[in-house]
């Protein structure tokens, strides 16, 4: 299988004020001194994208949003459109994160509509999927992620730049991670579902792993077959920790 360059993306979630720009500056400085062997992206809160774009100008660090609305504009108080995320300086956007699926009731169809909006705005979507602990314990992990791929990836993704992130919900922010065998098994199933949905267009896009990735476990996780990178939460908030993961690639 043709593998694309790995992508390590940090999701700051609802953390970070202007003072946190120092972490982005430290990351940029370190990557200027030692080039990364992978793509590196930071996804700060929407309010920081514009300022972060200025801090990271002329560095290889890419910027992403954490969500966008499916509509281009209108009466959607509190929301930002894909074009706004792009206009602020982002290249990518995380969509369908489990915290949005669980906390905001986002369905696979909602996620697919947001993916369409992101593509129309020129953003590269990172589409999150993953099973809950109850689903894993019921032996449904593969069925759940396969269903999420089928429902969340619109056919228009074929031939476009995008990534899928497998994030078991029970591994997010808990310090728990699946075994390497479990990660490999799910990634193989996700790849099969991507090919079933998109044909050849489903073969190349990276499948990231996310959930309690840290410097101490990144190397072994990133070495698993068809792990195309990492989506990192807590460990992306400190430049030194995030660099430890980037160096593991
Ligand atoms: O939610 C994620 C994982 O968070 P961790 O704190 O790394 O467990 C993933 O989307 C990155 O934000």
pLDDT(240) > 90: yes
Report d(CA 23, CA 17) in Å as an integer: 11
Handedness of CA 77, 82, 87, 89 (dihedral sign): positive
Q: Beta strands of 21-154 (E only): which ranges? A: 39-43, 62-65, 92-95, 124-129
Q: Which atom of ligand 1 is nearest to the CA of 11?
A: 12
Helices (H), 1-107: 21-33, 46-55, 82-88, 98-104
CB of 167 within 6 A of ligand 1: the answer is yes
ipTM here: 0.95
**209 near 227, Cβ under 8 Å?**
yes
Confirm or reject: Cβ of 98 under 6 Å from ligand 1.
no
Span 32-45, average pLDDT? 89
**Per-residue pLDDT, 245:** 96
The yes-or-no verdict on residue 63 having pLDDT over 80 is yes
Say yes or no to pLDDT of 2 above 50.
no
Whether residue 211 is predicted with pLDDT greater than 50 in this model: the reply is: yes
CA distance 127 to 133: 20
Q: Are 206 and 228 in contact (CB under 8 A)?
A: yes
pTM: 0.96
Share of the chain above pLDDT 70, in %: 99
pLDDT band per the 50, 70, 90 thresholds, residue 29 = confident
Testing ligand 1's pocket by substitution, the residue of 176, 183, 232 carrying the most ligand atoms inside 8 A of its CB is 232
Rounded to the nearest whole angstrom, what is the distance from the C-alpha of residue 172 to the centroid of ligand 1? 5
Q: What is the pLDDT of residues 46-60, one digit of tens each?
A: 999 999 999 999 899
pLDDT tens sequence across 136-193: 999 999 999 999 999 999 999 999 999 999 999 999 999 999 999 999 999 999 999 9
Per this entry, what is the length of the chain?
A: 249
- Lowest model confidence (mean pLDDT) among 135-139, 166-170, 193-197, 236-240: 236-240
Active site residues: 97, 167
Q: Give the three-class secondary structure for 150.
A: helix
Looking at residue 236, its pLDDT comes to 94
Binding residues for substrate are 11-13, 173, 212, 233-234
| Average pLDDT score over the chain | 95
Ligand 1 proximity of 11 Cβ (cutoff 6 Å):
yes
Averaged pLDDT, 221-245: 96
> Would you state the pLDDT for residue 1?
42
Query: Could you tell me the distance, in angstroms and rounded to a whole number, from the CA of residue 209 to the centre of ligand 1?
Result: 10
Q: Which two tokens stand for residue 23?
A: 């972490």
34 pLDDT exceeds 80? Answer: no
Residue 3 above 80 pLDDT? no
Domains in the chain with CATH codes:
17-32+46-61 (no CATH), 63-225 (3.20.20.70)
């Amino acid at each position: 299988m043709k593998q694309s360059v790995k992508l390590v993306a940090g999701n700051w979630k609802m953390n970070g004020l202007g003072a946190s720009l120092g972490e982005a500056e430290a990351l940029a400085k370190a990557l200027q001194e030692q080039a990364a062997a992978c793509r590196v992206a930071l996804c700060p809160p929407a309010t920081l994208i514009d300022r972060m774009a200025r801090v990271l100008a002329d560095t290889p660090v890419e910027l992403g949003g954490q969500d966008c609305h499916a509509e281009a504009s209108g009466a959607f108080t509190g929301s930002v459109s894909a074009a706004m995320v792009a206009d602020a300086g982002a290249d990518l956007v995380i969509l369908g994160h489990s915290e949005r699926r669980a906390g905001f009731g986002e369905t696979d169809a909602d996620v697919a509509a947001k993916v369409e909006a992101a593509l129309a705005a020129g953003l590269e979507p990172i589409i999150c999927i993953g099973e809950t602990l109850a689903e894993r314990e019921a032996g449904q992990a593969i069925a759940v992620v396969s269903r999420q791929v089928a429902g969340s990836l619109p056919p228009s993704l074929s031939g476009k730049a995008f990534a899928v992130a497998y994030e078991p919900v029970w591994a997010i922010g808990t310090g728990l991670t699946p075994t390497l065998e479990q990660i490999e098994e799910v990634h193989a199933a996700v790849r099969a579902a991507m090919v079933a949905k998109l044909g050849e267009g489903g073969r190349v896009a990276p499948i990231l792993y996310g959930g309690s990735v840290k410097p101490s476990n990144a190397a072994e996780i990133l070495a698993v077959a068809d792990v195309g990178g990492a989506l990192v939460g807590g460990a992306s908030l400190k430049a030194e920790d995030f660099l430890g993961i980037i160096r593991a690639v």
